[in-house]
Amino acid sequence: MIENEGGMKEEQDKDGKTYFVWKPKGWYAKVIKGKSEADLFDKIKKKYTETQRSRAYVAKTVADVVQQIQQSRTEVDAAGNKIEREINLEELLEPIDARGVMDRTGKLDWFRSMIKPYCTEDWEIYRHPAAEAMGLLIFRNKVNYQQIDVIKVSTSYLAYNRHIGGKDRNTLVGAFAPDIVEKSNGKSLMLNAYTGNIELIETM
């Protein structure tokens, strides 16, 4: 797994001590060092575990905010009149800041354009730990029960090309065919192996 993903190297420091290095593919990736292969593996495993936890945390936080907004719009007083409560969206989404997923402006813009349309009485959000662990927000339309919309929350760099099958292979089928073979097929609609496309398939 280590070698296929980014390449593990055995190196020596200035004192002649051996250590192991792994650099994920992509210009943004940080080098991970370990005193042994086992130590390096543990650090890589920790990195990906933290990524999954971060994704689940963001999805849960967004789902909580959606429910808070929906509940605020269904509150009524003793006379049956709706109570209009002011919602501080920036404050509700503040827990996401610690995860470094996006800046404050980008976070608010994303929520307003992608999530806020589902904060009305016409939609209900389906909550399940397994779905949130995958970063999935599932909405069901109360007017048309057959309509279910799924939004994928990601904490990854979506434009990162995984190069499945080798550095010169850019498509999702790179493990089976080189790019030149896939591109020679005039009817091919194969996508590049960007993290965004892979997570889209995961959502499906």
pLDDT tens for each residue of 40-57: 888 888 877 777 788 888
Same domain membership, residue 144 and residue 68 = yes
Same domain membership, residue 118 and residue 58 = yes
9: in domain: yes
Cα 21 → chain centroid: 26
48: in domain: no
Q: Is the pLDDT of residue 99 over 60?
A: no
43: in domain: no
Same domain membership, residue 160 and residue 148 = no
Same domain membership, residue 81 and residue 169 = no
Same domain membership, residue 60 and residue 17 = no
42: in domain: no
Same domain membership, residue 174 and residue 132 = no
Task: Note the pLDDT of residue 170.
Answer: 78
Closest among 198, 156, 155, 196 to 173, alpha carbons compared: 198
Same domain membership, residue 196 and residue 167 = yes
Beta bridge partners of 150: 138
Output the pTM of the full model: 0.66
Instruction: Say how far apart CA 45 and CA 23 lie, in whole Å.
Output: 14
Task: Note the pLDDT of residue 144.
Answer: 92
Instruction: Say how far apart CA 30 and CA 33 lie, in whole Å.
Output: 10
Beta bridge partners of 76: 82
Cα 92 → chain centroid: 20
Same domain membership, residue 62 and residue 128 = yes
Q: Is the pLDDT of residue 1 over 50?
A: no
Same domain membership, residue 89 and residue 65 = yes
Same domain membership, residue 203 and residue 117 = no
Same domain membership, residue 111 and residue 177 = no
pLDDT, tens digit, 9 for 90 and up, residues 170-179: 787 777 777 7
| Domain range for 118 | 53-152
